[in-house]
Amino acid sequence: MLRRRTKPVVAAKPNGPLWIAEDPFRGDRALLVDDDAVAPLSGDNHLSTALVDYLLQRSLQPKNIRQRCSHYKDNKFEFVSPFCIDHHFVVVKIVFDLRSPDIFHEVSVYDSLIKGGRRNNSVHRNSPPAKYLRSFQQFIANFCSFGNPKCEVLLANPDLIMEKAVYRSCPLQQNGFDCGLFAFGCVLHLLKGLDVSADIFNQTKTQREKQQASFGLIMSYLHHFQLRNEDSTVRAESDADQRLRRLGICPGFMKHSLRHVRPVLSLDGAHLTSRWKGTLYIASVHTACNDIYPVSFAIMKDGEDTEGWKWFLELLVQAVPLLKMQHPDNRCKFCYFTFISDRQKGLIQALQQVFPDNHHCFCSVHIARNVEKEVGKQVAKHVYALSATFSKRESDELMAKINAISVRGRKYLEDITANQWRSTAWVDDPTLPPRFGIVTTNMSESAHEMFGEAERTTQPFHPGLAL
């Protein structure tokens, strides 16, 4: 298949198809390259026949095929060759024996753009592989069957080889740049008697390995993220086995913009449903134009609990000291920023430890959901209005309706501290910081939706795209 040369040289390309691997077609017109010719190969040039020639020559033991052509008629041969037509590599494997009634025992075509194993996987007679196969049959008939009656058979039926030609299952390339390496790997597998569809060679199989390997890029990505985003805060934590357990990011441009947003920070966590699981923590605010503004986020291996929330809140304190700024209104007994959450128990405890001087409100939608579980929808449908209204008269009317439906429901709502969810409490107590009509954590839910595709899928981490 390969011919040893004492001094590889760059030769002119032959006219027509570019035959590869020094198969018998090419003879003295072989495309050979020396070491110096490999360096300039870049970009799409790695699809060139020269590079595959170079790889094959350096990776396989050259075989001397300078034998009399009549030798072909005495044995059963296995011919393996990659070839390139229309800038795409295809590999063929041909098993033939000129002594056998069926000259061609196997004619397999491996094309990384065509899925083998289909109901009709025969090679089309007008396809580039078909042209190559006919040329091979012609070569056998003209040069390898002297004195053999099979020569007349081969010449009389130029399409004889096509009767056995089929596409075989092989790894499908994932982009437009892999066919050269595919051909190289395919030839190596065939020459060593390995299954071309073996796991070690299958691109689609290695998806999980790619995802696992992507975790090794995270620390490098975080480093470059800090370099490209000045004054950003990045924090990561690994376990005893050096496996990533937590990471949090607060971009610098976000923390400096918090002076110009509504000072109500929504906190929420969501369970990741991809293969790797974990929990996503997000802190969001509303701008003056009511746009959603994610301030910081963290991903943790464990579920949503007090320890995780405390870790995330400490990241916020480190990144944004502004969150503990005193309120400019001296009447207010709390800090400038207010937090709103879904009443998750671990978060409530963590806020008391990390932000004891900031006011903490509850989301009326989550309260309504809890009420629905307790006493039903008829009471739950009044909860949002009860939370949003500043009118004491309307508030009393709503509470009376709730009481008429369920006394237990009224008691459940009254047990929740009023200044953490009912707007009428702000009328009674001027020391409470304003919450600008924000009575739900919908901004966090919307922020989660922004990350929704990443939460659900298992695509490998790609720092180039992320940057």
Quick: pLDDT tens for 194-219. Answer: 777 655 454 444 556 666 667 777 88
For the residues 161-169, what does the mean pLDDT come to? 88
Predicted TM-score of the model (pTM): 0.56
In the predicted model, is pLDDT for residue 46 greater than 70?
A: no
Per-residue pLDDT band for 88 (boundaries 50, 70, 90) equals: confident
Band the pLDDT of 9: cuts 50, 70, 90.
very low
- Give the residue, 181 or 8, on which the prediction is more confident: 181
Give residue 273's pLDDT band: very low, low, confident or very high (50, 70, 90): confident
The arrangement of strands across the sheet holding 233-238 comes to 233-238, 244-250, 292-300, 279-286, 264-271, 338-341, 360-362
| Whether the predicted pLDDT of 84 surpasses 80 | no
pLDDT band at 454 (very low <50, low <70, confident <90, very high): low
Report the C-alpha gap between 315 and 247 in whole angstroms.
10
Residue 65, amino acid: I
State the average pLDDT for the chain.
78
Stretch 447-463: mean pLDDT: 59
